[in-house]
Amino acid sequence: MQNLSTFKLIERISTIVRAEERKKYAALGLQPIHIQVLDYLSACNSYSNTAVGITEYFGLTKGTVSQTLQVLERKGYLEKEIDDEDARVTHLLLSKNGEKLLEEANHDDIFEQAQQAVLSKQYASLDDALKMTLFTLQKGCDVKSFGSCDSCINFNVEDNHYICTETNLPVWQIETHKICREHRFAA
Ligand code: SF4
């Protein structure tokens, strides 16, 4: 696989996860941020389960958070509760439907496969574990790998020249380290 930095690996993993979430929840009229907000609310304490907490955690504008919460409430995934001590504070709680949706989101087959792939082996470095996560997600989600020639099934050396068997054209050495939309893993 192309030698991506740790942050690039995380970015690519995140891109696949978000794209999968977008596809999955479009039918319910939801976007990834809606699931992320439910996830946050399921994990935070009672000082933090407010619109301000969400705004700070995700770095969103108040307007975006307000719209996000309206959608979640309208669809029955969220309930509001006024604070016992301070009536100006509104706590945001997952409804039964919200808990069910989040439970399903957290048990996605593809994401579990990726997790298993990482847990089933010891890795020499964080980057190796992230590469396995990315590889498993790309395979599971049928997403193009965008790797480079050194890990591609189409890469060949003939008479001391690099050849791409996909195109039957030579590959310049400088190009062999660059990402390619036609890349296919050897394994
Ligand atoms: S398909 Fe792309 S990555 Fe694979 S050998 Fe050809 S140029 Fe390289």
Site to probe by mutation for ligand 1, drawn from 154, 163, 177, 184 as the one with most ligand atoms within 8 Å of Cβ, is 154
Written as six digits, the tokens of 43 are 């994990």
Is the pTM here over 0.85, yes or no? no
User: How far does the centroid of ligand 1 lie from the alpha carbon of residue 67, in Å?
Assistant: 44
Closest CA to 36 of 128, 87, 105, 109: 105
Run of H or E including 10 = helix 6-26
DSSP state of 165: T
Q: Distances in Å between the alpha carbon of 58 and those of 39, 156, 167? A: 12, 46, 44
Closest CA to 179 of 122, 124, 136, 134: 134
149 lines ligand 1 (CB under 6 A): yes
**What is the full per-residue pLDDT of the chain (187 aa) written as tens digits?**
556 688 888 999 889 888 888 888 888 889 989 999 999 999 999 999 999 999 999 999 999 999 999 999 999 999 999 999 999 999 999 999 999 999 888 777 777 777 777 788 888 888 888 888 888 888 888 888 888 998 899 999 998 899 999 999 999 999 999 999 999 987 6
Distance (Å, whole) CA 58 – CA 65: 9
Residue corresponding to tokens 């395979």? 139
Helix, strand or coil, per DSSP, at residue 101:
helix
CATH of 31-106 among 3.30.300.30, 3.90.1150.10, 1.10.10.10, 1.20.140.10: 1.10.10.10
Question: What is the residue extent of each domain of the chain?
Answer: 1-18+108-143, 31-106, 144-187
134 lines ligand 1 (CB under 6 A): no
Q: Are 73 and 80 in contact (CB under 8 A)?
A: yes
Separation of CA 158 from chain center = 39
Distance (Å, whole) CA 8 – CA 134: 11
Site to probe by mutation for ligand 1, drawn from 150, 156, 171, 177 as the one with most ligand atoms within 8 Å of Cβ, is 171
Report the residue count for the chain: 187
